[in-house]
């Protein structure tokens, strides 16, 4: 029995087409694209081709607006720190309480260096309050950084609306979005509905390219100072010899995702919905986190009351199923997921969350197998939970109530 | 975070969740001793129960014959609970002898635990201690008279230092002494205190102050940067301006929208920017934006201020 990989929001397997596209640049086309001789110019042309191809997937934008980085974390750091350094007069940043740490921690760091940071909260479904967003806009607001889709719950924020409102309020406000989870899964037209977005981060390894390559869209005219200095590459905006093989693979992966999005989106949604309904039917006392909001088609975040996430993951792993959890014990700290905490998920459930995130290579059989294994995993842990009534198979009368 | 558990820990966990014969999950009925530690809000908790073979003459000679647990927690919390029961049953201890089992014995039995999981073994030792105190109470054994510090209530009474995990100062001091904890990281790994919001680390009377008091101040205490400031919402626009805007909307705009079964909600006013949301039949209407931009903005500019701009939510 082969392993079932259901953790595609963490990373994805590299597509064979992507590997194909990379191989020539490890072999005879190894040249530095900045060199002058003919073979190197062919590598430079391949780099330009990759940039054009990625740009084309975001609507009619200038390929020069795409900057290659090493990962989405670098893109986020470059965006936030670069804007703060370019516009030192403005001191206010707006972000949300549920961002990925690559945004949240950078904003906190800005907060230690003279910026004021507003962290927008979310409701129980994980959605933002537009009124709260409007009230948080200030005269010296420098940057709004709001993620497109949440990595833990898949909840999608209305970045189109938020960026429009920010720009209509004050065109000098810079709008950044971390779109790491949504690129390749949702349509993003940077010349259309997303035309008010100035900066957009994403990475390759969430869409079947390898780890170690990312990009930052920088709309022309955006005030931003470079993060990596010491070379003319990327028009002086990001020094360092370009990672040509990975960029070629990245472009192939973006093309692959764009070509198949119309068929993959409904296919993943159907798989996810069947998994969701199946778990709800087979496991008592579960809740689907973020269900009341618009969500990514591939993500299911489910909490099982009165059990702890790590024990579930361990048993799933033992049965060959890879998933992840927002439980404190898996986070490396002692706190449960900041996303679920911000959603005020009841404390009886916040430690018992499991995230299944599906991808290109998941099948109907995978969902069947998860549905066969998962209910047993939960039952095993409830059998030894001090909060579970074994005879009646429900929470004990004296267990802390679900609020 | 990857699992860095010993093979023994993994096996004990899997045997426990599959309820293999010889494992100890469950609860002893009418136990002679019952102890609990942790809470669901903190992420793990353990209910530990045992039965003794009562000595007809001298309760201090009671021998523990059966031990069971119910645990809410991670892989290592469950394995540590199982380890505790095995250690106790194997030893043929009296409850007072069982008190000698320390968290390190549990760690050794499990062939080691990752640093961040040490608190799972402490939880086992704590629940055992609570169960022995419960036994002593039921059997009328006076532990202090036998030279055993029963520190009853020490856990829940006293000044609360770590609010996230409900840890009091007396409990902290006892554990710092017993487990020889020298740094904030040691404290967090062993008893979780200070592991969440971290505000108690360097607060007056916080973890560092208590450590300094007990072990002496370190030569150069690391300075942590202050937490970032959460900004308050912008000050509202002048009162009179807002009132005039509201009045015009009430008198001129709402009646027009009402004819179509709709309405308008003003969400905020900042200087000359009016943020509104259409309601009722107007909400989601294709011409809605046109309505806002065109009609509402025109009326407000005419009646209140030339430079007003309307922003639709």
- Distance from A14 to chain B by nearest Cα, in Å? 21
pLDDT number for residue B227: 40
Same domain, B191 and B125: no
For residues B93 and A337, give the distance between their C-alpha atoms in angstroms, rounded to a whole number.
41
With beta carbons less than 8 A apart as the criterion, state whether A255 and A114 touch. Answer: no
pLDDT number for residue A334: 67
Position B128 in a domain = yes
Cβ-nearest to B313 among A110, A134, A400: A134
Query: Six-digit token pair at A120?
Result: 């927008």
Q: For residue B73, give the CATH number of its domain.
A: 3.90.1010.10
Average the pLDDT over A347-357 and give the result: 91
Tell me how far CA of residue B89 lies from CA of A113, B13, B72, B78, in angstroms: 57, 18, 22, 17
pLDDT at B19 over 80: yes
Best of A134, A305, A322, A398 to mutate (most B CBs within 10 Å, chain B): A134
Position B228 in a domain = no
Q: Which residue has better confidence, A257 or B148?
A: A257
With beta carbons less than 8 A apart as the criterion, state whether A153 and A339 touch. Answer: yes
Q: What is the dihedral of CA B277, A121, B242, B281, to 10 degrees?
A: 10
Phi-psi region of A391 (alpha: psi -120 to 50; beta: other; left: phi over 0): alpha
Last residue of a domain, one of B146, B170, B188: B146
Q: What is the dihedral of CA A375, A380, A385, A391, to 10 degrees?
A: 80
pLDDT number for residue A104: 96
| pLDDT per residue as tens digits for the range B102-155 | 889 999 999 998 888 888 888 888 899 999 999 999 999 988 888 887 665 445
Give catalytic residues of B, as residue numbers: 42, 120
Residue with tokens 């701009």: B309
* Cα Rg of chain B, angstroms: 32
- pLDDT band with cut points at 50, 70 and 90 for residue A333: low
Give catalytic residues of A, as residue numbers: 329
Q: What chain A residue is nearest to B192 in terms of C-alpha separation?
A: A334
Same domain, B136 and B29: yes
With beta carbons less than 8 A apart as the criterion, state whether B114 and B4 touch. Answer: yes
For residues A168 and B272, give the distance between their C-alpha atoms in angstroms, rounded to a whole number.
12
Q: Which residues 327-386 on chain A approach chain B with CB closer than 8 angstroms?
A: 327-336, 347-348, 351, 380-381, 383-386
| Half-sphere exposure in the Cβ direction for A237 (13 Å, CA) | 25
A312 CB neighbours in chain B (<8 A) are none
Query: Six-digit token pair at B174?
Result: 């006892």
> In angstroms, how far is CA B117 from the centroid of its own chain?
15
Interchain pair A335, B19: CB under 8 A: no
B39 CB neighbours in chain A (<8 A) are 400
Cβ-nearest to B230 among A118, A387, A400: A118
- Distance from A31 to chain B by nearest Cα, in Å? 38
Q: What are phi and psi of A348, to 5 degrees?
A: -75, -15
B26 CB neighbours in chain A (<8 A) are 384
- Distance from A266 to chain B by nearest Cα, in Å? 25
Tell me how far CA of residue A79 lies from CA of A20, A161, A169, A201, B287, in angstroms: 32, 20, 21, 8, 36
With beta carbons less than 8 A apart as the criterion, state whether B74 and A307 touch. Answer: no
Query: Six-digit token pair at A403?
Result: 């609020």
For residues B48 and A46, give the distance between their C-alpha atoms in angstroms, rounded to a whole number.
66
Interchain pair B226, A112: CB under 8 A: yes
Interchain pair B228, A112: CB under 8 A: yes
B233 CB neighbours in chain A (<8 A) are 135-136
Position B301 in a domain = yes
Best of A310, A396, A400 to mutate (most B CBs within 10 Å, chain B): A310
B19-23, B146-150, B236-240: lowest mean pLDDT where? B236-240
Same domain, B42 and B133: yes
A306 CB neighbours in chain B (<8 A) are 40, 72
| pLDDT per residue as tens digits for the range A130-174 | 999 999 999 999 999 999 999 999 999 999 999 999 999 999 999
Q: For residue B202, give the CATH number of its domain.
A: 1.10.10
For residues A8 and A366, give the distance between their C-alpha atoms in angstroms, rounded to a whole number.
13
Average the pLDDT over A237-254 and give the result: 96
Same domain, B136 and B164: no
Interchain pair B275, A165: CB under 8 A: yes
pLDDT number for residue A347: 82
CB proximity list for A327: less than 8 A, separation 6 or greater: A308, A309, A310, A336, A337, A351, A352, A353, B43, B74
Q: What chain A residue is nearest to B274 in terms of C-alpha separation?
A: A169
Please report the sign of the dihedral spanned by the C-alpha atoms of residue A377, residue A378, residue A379, residue A383.
positive
With beta carbons less than 8 A apart as the criterion, state whether A155 and A294 touch. Answer: yes
CB proximity list for A46: less than 8 A, separation 6 or greater: A25, A29, A33, A244, A248
Q: Which of A303, A308, A313 is nearest to A339 (CA)?
A: A303
Q: Which of helix, strand or coil describes residue A262?
A: helix
Average the pLDDT over A251-257 and give the result: 98
ipTM of this complex prediction, to 2 decimal places: 0.74
Q: Which of B44, B187, B103 is nearest to A350 (CA)?
A: B44
pLDDT number for residue B152: 55
Q: Which of helix, strand or coil describes residue B174?
A: helix
Cβ-nearest to A329 among B43, B46, B277: B43
- pLDDT band with cut points at 50, 70 and 90 for residue A18: very high
Interchain pair A307, B40: CB under 8 A: no
Q: What chain B residue is nearest to A129 in terms of C-alpha separation?
A: B313
Interchain pair B77, A335: CB under 8 A: no
Q: For residue B288, give the CATH number of its domain.
A: 3.30.300.130
| pLDDT per residue as tens digits for the range B57-90 | 999 999 999 999 999 988 999 999 999 999 999 9
- Could you give the angle at which helices B7-17 and A309-318 cross, rounded to 10 degrees? 100
For residues A27 and A283, give the distance between their C-alpha atoms in angstroms, rounded to a whole number.
52
Q: What chain B residue is nearest to A332 in terms of C-alpha separation?
A: B1
pLDDT number for residue A169: 96
Same domain, B123 and B196: no
Average the pLDDT over A230-250 and give the result: 93
Position B46 in a domain = yes
pLDDT at A265 over 80: yes
Total of domains in chain B: 3
Position B81 in a domain = yes
Phi-psi region of B111 (alpha: psi -120 to 50; beta: other; left: phi over 0): left
Interchain pair B233, A136: CB under 8 A: yes
pLDDT at B229 over 60: no
Q: Identify the structural domains of chain A with CATH numbers, from first to last.
A: 4-9+261-395 (3.90.1150.10), 16-257 (3.40.640.10)
Same domain, B208 and B243: no
Average the pLDDT over B180-189 and give the result: 88
pLDDT at A363 over 90: yes
Interchain pair A347, B41: CB under 8 A: yes
Q: Which of helix, strand or coil describes residue B263?
A: strand
Q: Which residue has better confidence, B156 or A349?
A: A349
pLDDT number for residue B296: 86
Best of A334, A337, A375 to mutate (most B CBs within 10 Å, chain B): A334
Q: Which domain holds residue B211?
A: 160-215
Last residue of a domain, one of B94, B119, B146: B146
A336 CB neighbours in chain B (<8 A) are 43
- In this complex, is the C-beta atom of A92 within 8 Å of any C-beta atom belonging to chain B? yes
Q: Which of A235, A229, A261 is nearest to A68 (CA)?
A: A235
Same domain, B42 and B139: yes
Query: Six-digit token pair at A124?
Result: 């129980």
Average the pLDDT over A321-331 and give the result: 78
Interchain pair B25, A311: CB under 8 A: no
For residues A168 and A228, give the distance between their C-alpha atoms in angstroms, rounded to a whole number.
32
With beta carbons less than 8 A apart as the criterion, state whether A73 and A102 touch. Answer: yes
Same domain, B81 and B188: no
For chain A, the distance separating the N- and C-terminal CA atoms, rounded to the nearest angstrom, is 41
Q: What is the largest CA-CA distance in chain A?
A: 78
For residues A360 and A302, give the distance between their C-alpha atoms in angstroms, rounded to a whole number.
21
Best of A386, A388, A402 to mutate (most B CBs within 10 Å, chain B): A386
Interchain pair B195, A318: CB under 8 A: no
For residues B200 and A299, give the distance between their C-alpha atoms in angstroms, rounded to a whole number.
36
Q: Which of helix, strand or coil describes residue B72?
A: strand
- Distance from B230 to chain A by nearest Cα, in Å? 5
For residues A51 and A248, give the distance between their C-alpha atoms in angstroms, rounded to a whole number.
9
Q: What chain B residue is nearest to A337 in terms of C-alpha separation?
A: B196
- Could you give the angle at which helices A244-282 and A16-26 cross, rounded to 10 degrees? 160
pLDDT at B220 over 60: no
Query: Which uninterrupted H or E stretch holds A299?
Result: strand A299-304
Same domain, B38 and B139: yes
Name the DSSP letter for residue A225.
Answer: -
How is A86-103 classified by DSSP, letter by letter? H-TT--EEEEETTS-HHH
Interchain pair A400, B13: CB under 8 A: no
Beta pairing, strands A174-178 & A199-203? parallel
Position B100 in a domain = yes
Same domain, B132 and B11: yes
Q: What chain A residue is nearest to B82 in terms of C-alpha separation?
A: A384
pLDDT at B48 over 60: yes
Average the pLDDT over A254-275 and give the result: 97
Last residue of a domain, one of B102, B121, B146: B146
Q: Report the share of chain B in percent with pLDDT over 70.
A: 87
Interchain pair A335, B14: CB under 8 A: no
Position B141 in a domain = yes
Q: Which of helix, strand or coil describes residue A142?
A: strand
- pLDDT band with cut points at 50, 70 and 90 for residue B4: confident
For residues A156 and B172, give the distance between their C-alpha atoms in angstroms, rounded to a whole number.
43
- In this complex, is the C-beta atom of A85 within 8 Å of any C-beta atom belonging to chain B? no
Average the pLDDT over A306-315 and give the result: 91
Residue with tokens 């640049």: A25
pLDDT number for residue B222: 41
| pLDDT per residue as tens digits for the range A89-143 | 999 999 999 999 999 999 999 999 999 999 999 999 999 999 999 999 999 999 9
Cβ-nearest to B25 among A138, A169, A384: A384
Same domain, B142 and B164: no
Query: Which uninterrupted H or E stretch holds A380?
Result: helix A364-383
Listed in order, strand segments (DSSP E) in B113-205 are: 160-162, 167-168
Identify the bridge partners of residue B71 per DSSP, sorted by sequence position.
B46
With beta carbons less than 8 A apart as the criterion, state whether B210 and B200 touch. Answer: no
Phi-psi region of A39 (alpha: psi -120 to 50; beta: other; left: phi over 0): alpha
Same domain, B297 and B191: no
Interchain pair B70, A385: CB under 8 A: yes
Q: Which residues 244-263 on chain A approach chain B with CB closer than 8 angstroms?
A: none
Position B188 in a domain = yes
pLDDT number for residue B294: 78
Interchain pair B17, A134: CB under 8 A: no
Q: Which of A357-371, B44-58, B164-178 has the highest mean pLDDT?
A: A357-371
Please report the sign of the dihedral spanned by the C-alpha atoms of residue A388, residue A390, residue A391, residue A392.
positive
pLDDT at B230 over 70: no
């Amino acid at each position: 029995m082969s392993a079932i990989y259901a953790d595609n929001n963490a990373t994805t397997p590299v597509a064979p087409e992507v590997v194909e596209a990379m191989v020539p640049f490890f072999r005879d086309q190894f040249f530095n694209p900045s060199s002058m001789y003919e073979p190197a110019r062919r590598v430079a042309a391949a780099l330009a081709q990759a940039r054009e191809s990625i740009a084309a997937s975001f609507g009619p934008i200038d390929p020069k607006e795409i900057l290659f980085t090493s990962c989405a974390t670098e893109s986020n750091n470059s965006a936030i720190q670069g804007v703060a350094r370019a516009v030192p007069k403005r001191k206010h940043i707006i972000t949300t309480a549920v961002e990925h740490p690559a945004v949240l921690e950078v904003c906190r760091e800005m907060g230690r260096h003279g910026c004021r940071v507003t962290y927008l909260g979310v409701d129980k479904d994980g959605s933002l309050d537009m009124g709260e967003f409007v009230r948080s806009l200030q005269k010296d607001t420098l940057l709004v950084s709001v993620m497109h889709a949440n990595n833990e719950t898949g909840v999608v924020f209305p970045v189109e609306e938020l960026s429009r409102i920010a720009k209509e309020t004050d065109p000098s406000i810079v709008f950044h979005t971390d779109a790491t989870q949504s690129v390749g899964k949702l349509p993003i037209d940077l010349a259309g509905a997303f035309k008010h977005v100035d900066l957009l981060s994403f990475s390759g390894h969430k869409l079947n390219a390898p780890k170690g390559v990312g990009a930052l869209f920088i709309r022309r005219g955006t005030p931003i100072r470079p993060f990596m200095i010491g070379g003319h590459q990327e028009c002086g905006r990001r020094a360092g010899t370009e990672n040509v093989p990975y960029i070629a693979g990245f472009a192939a992966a973006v093309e692959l995702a764009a070509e198949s999005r119309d068929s993959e989106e409904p296919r993943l949604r159907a798989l996810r919905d069947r998994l969701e309904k199946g778990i709800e039917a087979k496991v008592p006392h579960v809740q689907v986190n973020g269900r009341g909001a618009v969500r990514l088609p591939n993500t299911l975040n489910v909490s099982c009351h009165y059990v702890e996430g790590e024990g579930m993951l361990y048993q799933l792993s033992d049965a060959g199923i890879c998933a992840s959890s927002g439980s404190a014990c898996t986070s490396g700290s002692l706190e449960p997921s900041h996303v679920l905490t911000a959603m005020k998920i009841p404390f009886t459930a916040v430690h018992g969350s499991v995230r299944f995130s599906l991808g290109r290579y998941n099948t109907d059989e995978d969902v069947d197998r998860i549905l066969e294994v998962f209910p047993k995993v939960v039952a095993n842990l409830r059998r030894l939970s001090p909060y579970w009534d074994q005879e009646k198979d429900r929470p004990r009368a004296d267990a802390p109530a679900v609020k | 975070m990857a699992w860095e558990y010993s093979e023994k820990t993994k096996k004990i966990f899997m045997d426990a969740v599959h309820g293999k014969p010889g494992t100890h999950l469950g609860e002893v009925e009418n136990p002679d001793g019952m102890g609990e530690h942790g809470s669901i809000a903190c992420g793990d908790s353990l209910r530990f129960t045992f039965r003794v073979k009562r000595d007809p003459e001298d309760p201090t000679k009671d021998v523990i014959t059966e031990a069971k647990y119910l645990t809410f927690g991670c892989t290592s919390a469950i394995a540590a609970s199982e380890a505790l029961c095995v250690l106790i049953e194997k030893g043929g201890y009296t409850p007072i002898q069982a008190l000698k089992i320390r968290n390190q014995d549990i760690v050794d039995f499990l062939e080691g635990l990752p640093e961040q999981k040490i608190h799972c073994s402490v939880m086992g030792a704590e629940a055992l201690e609570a169960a022995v105190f419960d036994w002593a109470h039921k059997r009328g054994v006076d532990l202090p008279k036998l030279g055993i510090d029963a520190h009853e209530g020490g856990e829940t009474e006293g000044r609360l230092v770590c609010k996230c995990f409900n840890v009091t100062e007396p409990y902290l001091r006892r554990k710092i002494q017993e487990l020889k904890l020298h740094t904030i990281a040691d404290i967090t790994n062993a008893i979780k205190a200070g592991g969440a919001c971290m505000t108690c680390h360097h607060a007056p009377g916080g973890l560092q102050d208590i450590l300094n008091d007990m072990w002496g101040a370190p030569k150069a205490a690391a300075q942590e940067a202050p937490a970032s400031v959460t900004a308050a919402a912008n000050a509202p626009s002048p009162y009179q301006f807002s009132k005039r805007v509201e009045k015009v909307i009430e008198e001129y705009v709402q009646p027009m929208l009402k004819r179509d079964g709709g309405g308008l909600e003003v969400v905020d006013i900042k200087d000359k920017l009016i943020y509104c949301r259409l309601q009722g039949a107007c909400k989601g209407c294709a011409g809605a934006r046109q309505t806002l931009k065109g009609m509402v903005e025109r009326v407000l500019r005419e009646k209140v201020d030339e430079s007003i701009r309307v922003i639709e939510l």
